[in-house]
Each structure stands twice: as C-alpha cells, then as structure tokens.
A = this chain, B = another copy of it.
Amino acid sequence: MLEDRRLDVLRAIVEDFVSTQEPVGSKSLVERHNLGVSPATIRNDMAVLEEEGYIAQPHTSAGRVPTDKGYRLFVDRLATVKPLTSAERRAISTFLDGSVDLDDVVDRTVRLLAQLTRQVAVVQYPSLTRSGVRHVEVLPLGGGRIMVVLITDTGRVEQRVLEFAGPLGEQVLTDVRSRLNAEVVGLRLADVPGAVETLRETFPVADRALVDAVLASLLEMVVEQREERVVLAGTANLARFGQDFPRSISPVLQALEEHVVLLQLLGEASDTDEVTVRIGHEIEHEGLATTSMVAVNYGILDEPLARLGVLGPTRMDYPGTMGAVRAVARYVGRILSGR
C-alpha cells in the first residue's frame, strides 16, 4: 500500500524530471522540495516505488525516472489541471476570433495549440456524421457531369463530381435539389441515408437513374471514410526533444503522417468530455511508444463534434498541457456555435 509521503515523492520526481529532463536523485529531491526527511529515507521510498514499477533507473547509480505507470498514477491521482493565465486566455481569443471559415478555424486552432503547448498539436475536423445538413446543392457542369455539394452546419463543405451518361434534365435536377433540401436540411448526417431512401420513389421511373446517381453521390459523402480529416502543426517542436527519442524522431514523424493512426488515437475514450491522456506504451503504435497524447472533445453546445489534442514526449508537463487543451477546446466550441 502506498503511503502519502511516497506519493509526494513520486509527484516530486515527476515534476523535477519534467522540468530538468534529468534523472532525479534522492539528494536533489530533498533540496528542491521540503519533504522534511533525509535523503536516506527518500531512498527507501524510492526503492519501494521502483519495486512497484512507478519509477526506474536508466542505469545503476543514476537517478530515477518515472515509468509510464508512474506518469499514469501522477495524472490520475496527483496532478490537477492547471488553468491558463489570463495572458494565455487573451492569446486564445485574439488568435481565434476573426477566422473566416471552418478551414480557417481549424487551421488557427492547431497552430495556436502548438504554440501554447510547444508540442505537436492535432485537430480533427468536425465529424461529418455528427454534423447536421445545412444545404445540398446539385449543379450541372456540362459535358454530362454533375456536381453535388454538401454543406454542414459546422461549416464543412464536401463535393463530388459524377458522370452521368443519360440525358440531363435540368428540371429534374432542380427538382431533386429542392426536394432533397426539403427532406434533409436540419437532419443529422447519420440520419440522411434513412431519409433519402424513400425519396427516390417519389420521382417518375424515367428519372430514377439520374436521381439515384445524385443520391448515391450524396450518400458517398455522408458515409465516406475520408470524412475523418486531421490537421497538425508544431512538428518542429519535436526536435526540441531529441534526447527523448532514442533512435531518432523519424518514427515519430512517420507516425504523424499516418493520419489514420492519429485519428484512432484521438478517437479513443471519446465518450467522455474530460481531458483524456494516453501515456507511452498505452499507445499501441511502435513509433509512438515514448510519446503521450492529451486529447479532449470539442463541439457546439456540449455536443461533441470531434476531438483535438497534442502529442509530445511522455515527459511532458501534463497539468499545463491538459489545461491548454481544455481551454482551447472550449473556445473553439464557442466559436463554432457562433456561426
């Protein structure tokens, strides 16, 4: 059973290691924190903590370093999310206000987050399936091609061009357009397939082929896998942690380019609205075994739309990072609600 002081020792080790980046020894620990006991006592505690797997020594006769398990305990029980300074809050609002469209919001957010945390920031585009339909547009392009445009209430715009071999009745298209809008505007995208199903039957059989093609394009956009897009910034911050990545930062950079991996990572634990943390080996990806991800939902009016977060070395300032991530997510939610 862990006693109070031992937890204090673990907290002290994590804090010191995060700030100095060097293994921390018993002596420097008592010097920097007034623990009220001698180094020898701390050593005993450390021995126990090591026994239980919360800390480790890189090599005999070096200081101790927190293990993933140690960070986990720290995050779960020892750390409190650090609120931002008012200067930082101001930075957020000045940075995000005045974005012109969704792309811009996402772009600014990811840069801001990277700058604020000095880590790699990751922002997922508002999920299509959770958004609502604002408008559907059907445009004849000439040459037998039709463009179908889908605009969501989160400001996202998706488009498809389809080729249609048969005759292109202008009137039919206009008809499809208005009836489609009447039917699906305001619906969640997830509900679109169901709503659309009956729609085709309201058209004369002669036009069915055309209607079907348009609807198919629409459905494709709604369900497509690429709906999940992700943007990142601050990769240069990785280079500051050269020593944290034993081999090189190459595998980390590589993992960052695999957006699928990032999305999966972001998506984990998305059923809570709390800030979630994945530490080191808890991330099941080889290249990211020495990194941690701090992520949280963001959305409109407490309705989660997607997630954002940052990725950095396991040795990161968890309280500060969690605070920044949470604050940015809240502000982005507010921005999106306002448009």
Contacts and interface: CB of A to CB of B under 8 A. Distances in A.
Nearest to A249: B239
A223 interface: no
A96 to B, nearest CB: 15
Contacts of A220: 100
A236 interface: yes
Contacts of A137: 137, 149
B257 A235 contact: yes
A157 interface: yes
A15 B17 CA distance: 47
Nearest to A233: B257
Given A101-B161, A160-B101, A238 B253 contact: yes
A100, A141, A240, most chain B CB atoms within 10 A:
A100
Interface in A114-168: 134-135, 137, 139, 141, 145, 147, 149, 151, 155, 157-161
B159 A155 contact: yes
Contact of A151 (B100, B147, B224, B235): B147
A22 interface: no
How many copies of the polypeptide does the oligomer hold? 2
Interface string A246-276: 0011110110110000000000000000000
A107 to B, nearest CB: 9
Contact of A250 (B155, B233, B236): B236
Contacts of A104: 226
Interface string A160-191: 11000000000000000000000000000000
A157 B149 CA distance: 9
Interface of A: 100-101, 104, 134-135, 137, 139, 141, 145, 147, 149, 151, 155, 157-161, 220, 224, 226, 233-236, 238-240, 242, 248-251, 253-254, 256-257, 339
12 contacts: A100-B160, A100-B220, A134-B139, A134-B141, A135-B139, A139-B151, A235-B257, A236-B251, A236-B256, A239-B248, A239-B250, A239-B253
